[in-house]
Structure 1
């Protein structure tokens, strides 16, 4: 099924048609090309291939600016990566890269220029992690330019700032129990959703996308098949009269995030009694979802009611992972439940022993 903004449609003759940008006319208007196929998947593949082979501007040697290179790079990758990723890259480019480099010509870019960019962004208050992401994106854009013959990167060095692991804002075990007690007394679908976060560690976007059709009460499992996020509207970027952002329903962030999770026995009866039509979303009981930012706001209200300090809902995922490790969960099984590609990622990001646990280990040590 075609998605909004893809410029793919089914024709009256049964064939699928995809429109793509071949380039720009002298007056700046977009010059479109068209490909056709019998199925949606086939026409989408043809479109990606056509975009890769499209007649992009001829190499403009040393006179080409970073602004022009960024524009061309976006045209080249737009349909080869997830829409949410492209929207994120576009924001970084428009907010940080293009304003700083302005009309800087590719021939002027060297190691010193890259270093000044790095220092400038660090001193502006951006975290080392964000600056590193900017440099990785910038290097990718320049690498594309090198492959097109616009510049050479042989004498340009990138030095990434050191990224230290940031501690998570932890929610205490006592506060988790307080949340569970409060939510257990409320039969609303929203309370059931937050309990699912506590007992399974699912992401807020995955909770937003859960439908009753994702639950198999006979096998006692739920399937994570989609995630919901609000992203920059690509049609707005094209100058159309639409809102700046739009709600994006897509597959989870990676292949390993598409997974089945056993339904905790403590929630099984509660969820089964609330089930609705398979097409309805868990949190609303209708075909309209509750988007992540709304979930975040309602979660903050819940914290206030429970007299618990403000904390991001993602802390529940961290608490789940940490608790599973404390009770002896197999790291491989835990990483699969969390939707990570490896157990190492799970251990590095979420699992940290608390001081009491470390003391318990030390007390057992003897010779």
Structure 2
């Protein structure tokens, strides 16, 4: 973010000359014109603000010469609303009664564990599902390019399986093992989640 936006747009100015006009005209307005949302612009501004706060604290500057930018012309960020418990329950019931077991298992694990879709896709029976200790090991992610390590250390975690999650996985594994008798060659890595093209 620093190299791509801040340095490219205002990197040519001496830090002591940066003021409201330069921040607005040279950084914020061009990014608004490129279609950046209000939330992203605020994140960029906070980074710039942190740099100037550091410069003042370490006496490179005597004071900050700008205040918050004008974001009136920026489009609003998408508001993300969390589902209520009733909505989650309704979705899971619909998935359980009207869709296939893979859909229900995927949605249940995503809702009940909070793991990401890529983390769910990367789960393997042998290494990640521990029925004996009631744990799900989350230590990789998977996308269209295949499995890989997570981006951050915090992404490595163990999730405790309660009875509900365990029973969902046990029911799914029973179905899975029946399917795999015929199609084992298509899932040699033993991924938990498989598709229905089989």
How does the TM-score come out when normalised to structure 1? 0.36
Gaps of 5+ in 2: 178-186
The question of whether the paired residues in 2 share the 8 Å contact of 1:142 and 1:153 is answered with no
Q: 1:140 aligns with which of 50, 66, 78?
A: 50
Per the alignment, residue 305 of structure 1 pairs with none
Give 1:267 shift: 1.1
The question of whether the paired residues in 1 share the 8 Å contact of 2:52 and 2:64 is answered with no
Give 1:217 shift: 0.8
Higher helix share: 2
**Structure 2 Cα separation of the partners of residues 110 and 168 of structure 1:** 36
Per the alignment, residue 179 of structure 1 pairs with 95
Gaps of 5+ in 1: 1-91, 231-244, 276-283, 299-367
Per the alignment, residue 214 of structure 1 pairs with 128
**Structure 2 Cα separation of the partners of residues 156 and 289 of structure 1:** 56
- CA displacement 1:45-86 (0-9 Å, x = unmatched): xxxxxxxxxxxxxxxxxxxxxxxxxxxxxxxxxxxxxxxxxx
Q: Equivalent residues in 2 for 1:121-136 (5 A)?
A: 121-136=31-46
The question of whether the paired residues in 2 share the 8 Å contact of 1:209 and 1:249 is answered with no
Give 1:253 shift: 6.4
Per the alignment, residue 267 of structure 1 pairs with 168
- CA displacement 1:296-331 (0-9 Å, x = unmatched): xx8xxxxxxxxxxxxxxxxxxxxxxxxxxxxxxxxx
In the alignment of these two chains, the number of paired residues is 173
The question of whether the paired residues in 2 share the 8 Å contact of 1:220 and 1:268 is answered with no
Give 1:109 shift: 1.1
How does the TM-score come out when normalised to structure 2? 0.59
Per the alignment, residue 258 of structure 1 pairs with 157
Q: Does the C-alpha gap of structure 1 residues 146 and 207 become closer, same or farther in structure 2, counting only changes over 3 Å?
A: farther
Q: Equivalent residues in 2 for 1:339-354 (5 A)?
A: none
Q: Does the C-alpha gap of structure 1 residues 271 and 217 become closer, same or farther in structure 2, counting only changes over 3 Å?
A: farther
Give 1:175 shift: 5.1
